[in-house]
A = this chain, B = another copy of it.
Amino acid sequence: MKKFINHVDTLLDESLRGFARAHSELVELNQEPRFIRRREASGAGKVALISGGGAGHEPLHTGFVGQGMLDAACPGQIFTSPTPDQMMAAAQAVESGEGVLFVVKNYAGDVMNFEMAGEMLDSPVETVLVQDDISLPREHEIGRRGVAGTVIVEKIVGAAAEEGASLAELKSLGDKVTEATASIGVALTGCTVPALGGPTFDLPADKIEIGVEIHGEHGREVADFAPATEIVKTLCAAIEEELRPGKGQAVLLHVNGLGSTTLMELYLVYELACEFWQRQGIEIRRSLVVNYTTALDMAGCSLTLTLLDDELTRLWDAPVHTPALRWGC
């Protein structure tokens, strides 16, 4: 395994130090326990927004700490849940009296640890569980997982928090965005987990994995490699079946790269997805084509669709200033 590392045990800390240093005007690193927080205090009257999860999906979540999104992010080791003491310490550091909202991707370890942290905190706590990955059926025993739609939730809920929405309002808004969002991914290759020294799974040269999730968990099906138009059609059709957007529905279309897929390909995928949705009479109102929720160096991408109304559009457009996303300020 050739990667830029000194040792698998120090990779995360060395990387977080670099991240905090590169963006020191926006964030600071708490080393023990590990979390990244906004440098500028959130101030009274604002609910604290905290997320976290295993590392390896950068810029998620640390890249979204800042004005208009998260107050803190708790990174676990690669593909490993952060621990309750991280969330506790982060919450105590950024909470300002209005309560804490956890944004949690639906993975057993994350859910359990955020829950434990919530129980131990004195402040009021609510949790938005992101489960936008439609590759598993809704009734699957482990539930649907949280993937690239998480960024949409964090942006929209973060904007409302900045405007002073209450904890109950943010919880309800977060659930609304999650409900309006569906994602599905496709892998062309596995990814190299440093601690393993090799890929999480192997795909034959003529196969792709439809419905892959961001750690390389098995998806819907191993399918034959196909031209991009066919792959995109498969992904869009799955989302259509899930969300069933009506003619004229406004949407946010997010094409997310999983790591080593080129921007050139991501824009091609975006173009093909637009053509699909426009044939259905859907209005692509907002777009996001970028590597935001990665799976280390996996080749592949995911499509996310969020049904927009005027409220969600306005909150999406609201100013944001984080290391990975910035506009309006």
Contacts and interface: CB of A to CB of B under 8 A. Distances in A.
A14 B272 contact: yes
Copies in the complex: 2
Contacts of A297: 260-262, 299
B265 A5 contact: yes
B228 A4 contact: yes
A128 interface: no
A273 to B, nearest CB: 9
Contacts of A21: 270-271, 274, 287
In this complex, the interface size class of chain A, counting residues with CB under 8 Å from chain B, is 35 or more
A184 interface: no
Nearest to A231: B4
Contacts of A227: 5-7
A14 B268 contact: yes
Interface stretch (A52-60, A114-122, A307-315): A52-60
Given A267-B16, A267-B18, A270-B22, A6 B296 contact: no
Nearest to A189: B2
Contact of A296 (B18, B262, B274, B327): B262
Interface in A153-186: none
A3 interface: yes
B229 A6 contact: yes
Nearest to A300: B4
Contact of A55 (B17, B228, B264): B264
A287 B231 contact: no
B59 A299 contact: no
A301 interface: yes
Contacts of A17: 271
A69 to B, nearest CB: 16
A263 interface: yes
